[in-house]
């Protein structure tokens, strides 16, 4: 999705996404939302070559040179939202399923509710509002705690339990990847019917992305030929 002139390494891209996400502005002076622009499009200018150890001043230099080339936003946002969301939803879902072998079937909506790929999202406020007695003005930003909302007991019965028979309508999610994730998990289970956790997975240390830094598995004695 990205031309080589913009990016040569997905790990470099992710490093810059992680660095920029906490410090970006919410809106432009004229009111346009800018957090995605500063988070993604500006990173393109310095991805190649990228500093070995990027600092806040490196990012500030790029933000200061914002040239308004917003055409890059869509190209950069697609792999960022698609790659992270799909990859972590697949891994989170597999870990959940391996921990609950008694549950049958596959319900990606419930998997994304129970342990979705994003924990937090920043949302600029479009009009004056009040939340828990606090007045919020247009242009100010609120942090939406997606993981907490998806465990809201007023919305979901037994919210901490994984229940593949549950109607997960009302969950918060980023994008609609149910078909893709369903296909990936189905093929993985068919390919490795005895797949099992090899050790306790390690969580990412990240306030935005909810996922695993490592989830070691063993394929088991049976494995099917690749289709």
Class of 81-218 in CATH: mainly alpha
What b-and-e string marks burial along 53-69, b requiring 16 or more CB atoms within 10 Å of the CB? ebeeeebeebbeeeeee
**For 135-140, what is the mean pLDDT?**
87
pLDDT of residue 138: 86
pLDDT of residue 216: 93
Report which of 33, 173, 185 is spatially closest to residue 94, judged by C-alpha positions.
185
**For 124-152, what is the mean pLDDT?**
88
pLDDT digits (tens, 9 = 90+) for 209-227: 899 989 999 988 887 655 4
pLDDT of residue 173: 81
**For 1-20, what is the mean pLDDT?**
46
> How many helices and strands (H and E) does the chain possess?
8, 8
Q: Is 35 helix (H, G, I), strand (E, B) or coil?
A: helix
Q: Is 141 helix (H, G, I), strand (E, B) or coil?
A: strand
Taking the C-alpha atoms of residue 39 and residue 42, their distance in angstroms, rounded to an integer, is 7
Name residue, tokens 């697609």.
Answer: 78
49, 53, 56, 62: CA torsion to nearest 10? 0
Average pLDDT along the chain: 72
Locate the domains of the chain by residue range.
10-69, 81-218
**Minimum mean pLDDT among 31-45, 111-125, 174-188: which range?**
31-45
pLDDT digits (tens, 9 = 90+) for 40-72: 444 444 433 444 444 545 545 554 554 444 444
């Amino acid at each position: 999705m990205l031309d080589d002139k913009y990016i040569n390494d997905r790990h470099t891209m992710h490093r810059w996404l992680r660095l920029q996400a906490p410090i970006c502005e919410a809106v432009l002076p004229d009111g346009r939302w800018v957090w995605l622009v500063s988070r993604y499009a500006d990173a393109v200018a310095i991805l190649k070559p990228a500093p070995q150890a990027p600092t806040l001043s490196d990012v500030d230099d790029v933000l200061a040179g914002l040239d308004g080339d917003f055409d890059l936003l869509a190209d950069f946002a697609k792999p960022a939202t698609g790659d992270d969301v799909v990859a972590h939803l697949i891994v989170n879902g597999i870990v959940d399923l391996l921990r609950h072998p008694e549950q049958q079937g596959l319900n990606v909506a419930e998997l994304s509710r129970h342990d979705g790929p994003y924990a937090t999202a920043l949302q600029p406020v479009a009009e004056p509002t009040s939340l828990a007695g606090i007045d919020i003005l247009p242009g100010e930003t609120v942090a939406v705690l997606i993981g907490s909302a998806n465990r809201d007991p007023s919305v979901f019965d037994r919210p901490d339990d994984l229940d593949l028979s549950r109607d997960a309508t009302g969950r918060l999610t980023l994008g609609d990847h149910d078909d893709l994730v369903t296909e990936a998990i189905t093929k993985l289970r068919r390919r490795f019917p005895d797949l099992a956790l090899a050790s306790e997975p390690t969580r990412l240390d990240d306030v935005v992305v909810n996922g695993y830094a490592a989830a070691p598995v063993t394929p088991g004695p049976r494995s099917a030929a690749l289709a």
